[in-house]
Amino acid sequence: MTVIGVHASHEQVHPSALLAAVRQAEEVGFDAAMSSDHFSPWSARQGQSAFAWSWLGAAMQATGLPFGVVNAPGQRYHPAIVAQAIGTLGAMFPGRLWVALGSGEASNEHITGDPWPRKEVRNARLRECVEVIRALLAGEEVSHDGLVRVDRARLWTRPEEPPRLVGAAVSEPTARWCAEWADGLITVNAPVEHLKRVVGAYRDAGGRGSLYLQVHLSWAESEEEARAVAHEQWRSNVFGPPVCWDLETAEHFDVASEHVTAERVAEVVNVSSDLGRHTGMLRDYVDLGFEGLFLHHVGREQGRFLEAFGARVLPEVRA
């Protein structure tokens, strides 16, 4: 049966409210949760960006849900510190954590003052980080000199079973590349034919493990409100690579998205006041073979969405 989880968007929601939201999600029937990990929001209108790892400790203690988190090691995070964070949560909450690793965005990573590398360099750096993290979680002492440097690092607190390291991809080439090293794949909602190609690229290249989908959606009691919420909160998130990789500040995204229309936002967000339509779209994703769907209502207020989907959408998708 497909796991249906909720996405915790730290860029949009205060961490205290987000903690309340995941507790409500568990109460209304969601199976799991996943968390973003940003230093900066995508827009000044979103207005938040709490530290995901301290929040994850609170959220995993406050609920019984399994959690995933998206992380970009290599610049803002040293891979040994990422491994230590994974190891600590994995030891405290066995079997309840997975981590999706990606090459990052300049909007979060530029804060170190280091140059923002080309995409191929970022991918090579990520591969080095993956190997460092895996070795540390396996109990090895690690020294490494490359695009990242590690000197005699060892994790003293580790889980018995290392959490899965999942690849994050939105394109076919990246999905094929993730198949070389990942324990699973996560991507984001897109037209069904595109998702089929991404899934096929991963599996055809020998990709193992579970397939996860993050679903951006906007729901409200009226179509007008659903469209307005999506446009107000998510119009800075319509840009594909390399724009979304390379813009550096929330202000840059706000300028770039000044003339983005509601219709353009609806191309990347499932916008509807019709719960039946949302149910149908989620069923389509299940039919593509995704073992986990993580629903991200792009509005800042989460309570109505959780209540409505828990009562009327989740049971229909599972039927």
Q: Beta 67-71 vs 97-101: how paired, if at all?
A: parallel
Q: Quick one: DSSP state of residue 163?
A: P
Active site residue 224: no
Active site residue 105: yes
Question: Are 278 and 215 within 8 A, CB to CB?
Answer: no
Beta-bridged to residue 7, according to DSSP, are 34
Amino acid, single-letter form, for residue 30:
F
For tokens 């991200």, the residue is 296
Exactly one of 105, 128, 231, 278 is catalytic; which is it?
A: 105
* CA–CA gap between residue 145 and residue 147 (Å, rounded): 7
Burial 159-179 (b: 16+ CB within 10 A, else e): beebbbbbbbbbbbebbbbbb
Exactly one of 7, 10, 26, 38 is catalytic; which is it?
A: 38
Nearest-CA neighbor of 186 among 116, 124, 273, 98? 98
- What count of other Cβ atoms lies within 10 Å of the Cβ of residue 16? 11
Active site residues: 38, 105
